[in-house]
Structure 1
């Protein structure tokens, strides 16, 4: 009798298990992924390595993929785009890299008409991949938990980075922005094909972090995105961030040319030589010279590869393009210590026992404000030290250094972008947040809150996927973020959707600037107003009104 019951229970379990897509027909051919069990009657269908464009030509826009015959087994990630390694000592990846990955949640019935969230990775436009950094198991950007808990389709995409993605001569000869065109091609592919995977092509949200967040911002501002997606989320970066746009692309192109032996006084000959150069050599020529900077400037000056105003994909200065973003719902914010990592390179002793001096604080400000000269150093210094008193504690001084870099690189540009979005909006919503969960990185001083990129583990549900390395408070936070993010993708309002949230999140408007502070204890008092408004006012009004110093164009 017991045996019969066991067999019957097994048969019932099998017949009542979750649905699965099996083979899916896309424009290029048939693909088959793999089904992953997530719980009783819940699975996620995962498709890895679907091509969204052909192998790109060097410094050419992506072209449609020619397609394939038979069934493409989409069960493993493809190579990242050719790039330097984190330590800048060699290259990894391939030129054949324009692939995406899809995560589709399934219940007992096959999913249909689900909202779609397309993720753009960060990495300073220099490195990164759709399947980056495997921490204790799956990739950091593995979409299974977010897809299953939020009941949305997650798509992660590759795009070209570094020399091959963003080299530009500043004119039609090498216009640049190839990585942005790749992202655009991927989003367009998703719009054309996602219905076959159970997605709603009319409800696509793009989201990204750091350089990926700035990319999201550029995609919103580009005239090519009209009608392509509906909503966007920028986590710690916008097109207005000072590191997000190259202002002198030709200087960088000449530097790369020198390094690969292509330096010519005739620019056309130089570019012809570059086009004939080995891709690996070109990629290495774009590496960061870390030793050049230590003690000599600010880390931001190292981040050379980024998009350009090309008169095409980005037709004008980003601040003048927000009319193009008027129809997209927009959610953007920063981590409270986004600038801490960069500040720790610029002023290393903020993370050490020895004292941080007034001279070091002024030196940092000098590096960040060099286009405005000495007047800016004095005014910025008095703004940032007004709360110090006559004998500030070292923790206060050190935290101020981190705040300066956070404001300058991330927070203030994001607040300006939110304001411009709200000012230009035609019925679309705008939302602002500050993520300030205490850092989980060991060895940092007690005053360090949320470090750059620490939000990602919670958005992608790592505390659920690898529970042993997290505490219940981290699961609470992860649950909140997945709920807000996926509600926003469904409805354009992070408080409304299938997922319960701890408190309503009010919209940011032209005259009203609420923001939600995100951590593991979200209550009514987590909603505040006018985020760091004194500092936003300083950079947007006082600092920007100072005259810019004329400098000779530097060749190097």
Structure 2
């Protein structure tokens, strides 16, 4: 059998004009592929494999539906270029990228194909409010992590309506994008040994919506056993940007706005939506309530996000997050890190200054968390909104004169306390839990730089990845003696140590575990890495009290 296999490889190499001496040739379950040996910005070589399909293209009758196993290919696949990005609209740049529905690709980067012992694996899930982004090296180059002797995988998954539309039936229960991520994790389990990786040591790491996705995998029975450690940055299940209202009704309105003749029959609606041009999807805002025309703002409430599915037999999640955490019916064998940036909302500071603050001043219910907003009466919502305004602004006006106060409010309301809610529950049912705040600030804080003209120099939403991945699109020169690179080493060493042994401690910091009572956390700052207790504790206490008074689970 080995002789036959070798002869087969020789024939394939000859047909594809690929040398059998190609040092990058790898056999995966779908077939053979070759990659590249690249040199990182740090001057070290690594193996790169881009654009590997991990699922069947979700096109035609597969649009909106659960991903299917990938198909094998003939010959040798040249994995030297990224696959297409998924169709997406980026609200930060106001650019629509048509991409392709055939976009379920992943990228694998490894320091060696033949390590003495299999290497730990980090699978990165990109962010982008569930509506934009990709795993491509323009933003997420592997240079820093492969130096840490970690096999790095980045993925694409379906976005917006294509990834999260739910008809509430067995055909389209919802969460197709999260099931894409599961399919990618299954691919890693089946194939990562061929790249020098250890399928028994897989860490999933996500930022923003990717971070929220990570926490959802910790709850999903579909993801059980596919990973062993998890890192969530700036995301958890209850963040406002992951909340939607009546997803099945939203799907009907989506179809109606596109011109569907029958939106009540889900079979007919699905047929119409599967035949529609996906480029027509992105400008549609399928609001169910008139008030959503006001609350439909960034960081507040999205249209197509993860949902609690009706039980149809092949579900990602069918129970409420809090019920799962209370019952302990979660992937509790997972070690966990979670954190957020010091001033997440600097990401949107220009739009706050231009329009959002005036909207919040006019429509005070915008201050009410989306969870409460869609579950409570108007009177309760206004009471909550006034309490939030008083806590963060006191006697000060809600105006651009107090932009710093608004940023503090939005940073905690959108991201901060949600991370603690999840961590406090996980620490009581899971394995090791670690907490951190990210407050590096240099020229590499691409989004944090927006705060400088307003007198704010702190880490923003989306800033941490610039110190974990090399963003090729920025074309930065990396000086290994610079402050920026010293910060890269601090955070990537912690991530790599966690991936290797479930402990992010380094030579310079002993990182205590987080418990719901002591709440130990680490802050990454320019000059130091420090240990504290109770991150933004006064904010957390306020929000806990606010939810309890509103009668909503916290």
Q: TM-score, normalised by structure 1?
A: 0.82
Aligned to 2:160: 162
- Counterpart pick for 2:392 among 361, 384, 396: 384
Change (3 A) 1:186 1:111: farther
Counterparts in 2 of 1:296 and 1:124: CA distance versus 1, 3 Å: closer
Given candidates 536, 542, 548, the residue that maps to 1:538 is 542
Alignment partners' CA distance in 2, 1:25 and 1:357: 56
Cα distance in 2, alignment partners of residues 35 and 320 from structure 1:
48
CA contact (8 A) 2:480 2:486 kept: no
2:526 matches 1:520: yes
Decide whether aligned partners of structure 1 residues 510 and 401 sit closer, same or farther in structure 2, where only a CA change above 3 A counts. same
Deviations 1:249-285 (A, max 9, x none): 0232123212221153533333332233233333553
| Corresponding residue of 1:317 | 320
Q: What corresponds to 2:25 in structure 1?
A: 23
Give the superposition deviation at 1:42. 4.2
Pairwise CA distance, 1:399:
1.9
Query: Where does residue 69 of structure 1 map in the other structure?
Result: 74
Counterpart-to-counterpart distance in 1, 2:359 and 2:253:
35
Residues 475-490 of structure 1: matches in 2 within 5 Å?
475-490=485-500
| Aligned partner (choices 494, 497, 503) of residue 493 of structure 1 | 503
Change (3 A) 1:83 1:391: closer
In 2, the alpha carbon distance for the partners of 1:316 and 1:203 equals: 28
Q: Aligned residue for 1:507?
A: 513
Alignment deviations for residues 492-516 of structure 1 (CA, whole Å, 9 cap, x no partner)? 1001xxxx44311111023220111
Give the deviation of 1:298 after TM superposition. 4.1
Distance across 1 between alignment mates of 2:186 and 2:100? 23
Deviation at 1:348, TM superposition (A): 3.1
Measured in 2, the distance between the counterparts of 1:360 and 1:502 equals 49
Counterpart position of 2:209: 211
Deviation at 1:39, TM superposition (A): 8.9
Alignment of 1:312-351 (within 5 A): 312-322=315-325, 323=328, 324-342=330-348, 344-348=350-354
Rate the CA distance shift 1:245–1:375 in 2: closer, same or farther, 3 A. Answer: closer
Instruction: Give the match's secondary structure for 2:488.
Output: helix
Look up the SS of the partner of 2:182 in the other structure: helix
Task: Specify the alignment match of 2:14 in structure 1.
Answer: none
Partner residue, 2:302: 303
Structure 1 equivalent of residue 413 of structure 2:
408
Greater CA deviation, 139-148 or 211-220?
A: 139-148
Aligned residue in 1 for 2:383 = 375
3-state SS of the aligned residue for 1:285? Answer: coil
SS at match of 1:331: strand
| 1:112-153 deviations in Å (ceiling 9; x for gaps) | 40000000111111111111xxxxxx51111122212x1100
Q: 1:434 to 1:315 in 2, by over 3 A?
A: same
Give yes or no for contact 2:87–2:100 (8 Å, CA) kept in 1.
yes
Question: Contact 1:350 / 1:398 at 8 angstroms: preserved in 2?
Answer: no
Query: What is the deviation of 1:101?
Result: 0.4
- How far the C-alpha of 1:170 sits from its partner, in A, is 3.1
- In structure 2, relative to structure 1, the CA distance for the partners of 1:294 and 1:181 (3 Å cut) is closer
Separation of aligned partners in 2, 1:261 and 1:184: 33
Deviation at 1:411, TM superposition (A): 0.6
Where does residue 430 of structure 1 map in the other structure? 433
Q: Output one character per residue of 1:327-370: Cα deviation in whole Å (capped at 9) or x when no partner.
A: 1111011111112334653453799xxxx999479575258664
* SS state at 1:540 partner: helix
Alignment-derived partner of residue 135 in structure 1: none
Q: TM-score, normalised by structure 2?
A: 0.83
Q: Which piece of structure 1 moves more, 511-520 or 26-35? A: 511-520
Output aligned runs, 1:240-319, within 5 Å.
240-264=238-262, 266-268=264-266, 269-285=268-284, 298-301=297-300, 303-310=302-309, 311=311, 312-319=315-322
> What is the CA–CA distance in structure 1 between the aligned matches of 2:521 and 2:42, rounded to whole Å?
37
Residue 453 (structure 1) aligned to one of 432, 441, 462? 462
Q: Is the 8 A contact 2:144 2:470 kept in 1?
A: yes
Determine the C-alpha separation between the residues in 2 that align with 1:316 and 1:418.
Answer: 19
Could you report, residue by residue, the CA deviation over 1:264-311 in whole angstroms, capped at 9, with x for unpaired residues?
Answer: 3533333332233233333553699xxx99987643455211110014
Alpha-carbon distance change, 429 to 199 in structure 1, aligned in 2, over 3 angstroms: same
Match of 1:474 in 2: 484
Question: Is the Cα contact below 8 Å between 2:396 and 2:402 reproduced in 1?
Answer: no
Q: Pick closer, same or farther for the CA change 1:80–1:169 going to 2, 3 Å.
A: same
Stretches of structure 2 that go unaligned for 5 or more consecutive residues are: 1-20
Residues 257/393 of structure 1: CA separation in 2 closer, same or farther (3 Å cut): closer
- Structure 1 Cα separation of the partners of residues 438 and 532 of structure 2: 13
Instruction: Determine the C-alpha separation between the residues in 2 that align with 1:202 and 1:296.
Output: 43
- Give the Å deviation of 1:231: 0.4
> Which secondary structure does the structure 2 equivalent of 1:234 belong to?
strand
* Per-residue deviation, 1:397: 3.2
Match of 1:98 in 2: 104
2:225 aligns to what? 227
Secondary structure of the structure 1 residue equivalent to 2:496: helix
CA contact (8 A) 1:111 1:198 kept: no
Q: Distance in 1 between matches of 2:479 and 2:363?
A: 36
- 1:15 maps to none
Instruction: Say what the alpha-carbon RMSD is for the aligned residues.
Output: 3.3
Q: Distance between the aligned counterparts of 1:23 and 1:226, measured in 2?
A: 31
SS of equivalent to 2:48? strand
Looking at structure 2, the residues matched to 221 and 454 of structure 1 have their Cα atoms a distance apart, in angstroms, of 27
Cα separation, partners in 2 of 1:418 and 1:547, compared to 1, 3 Å:
closer
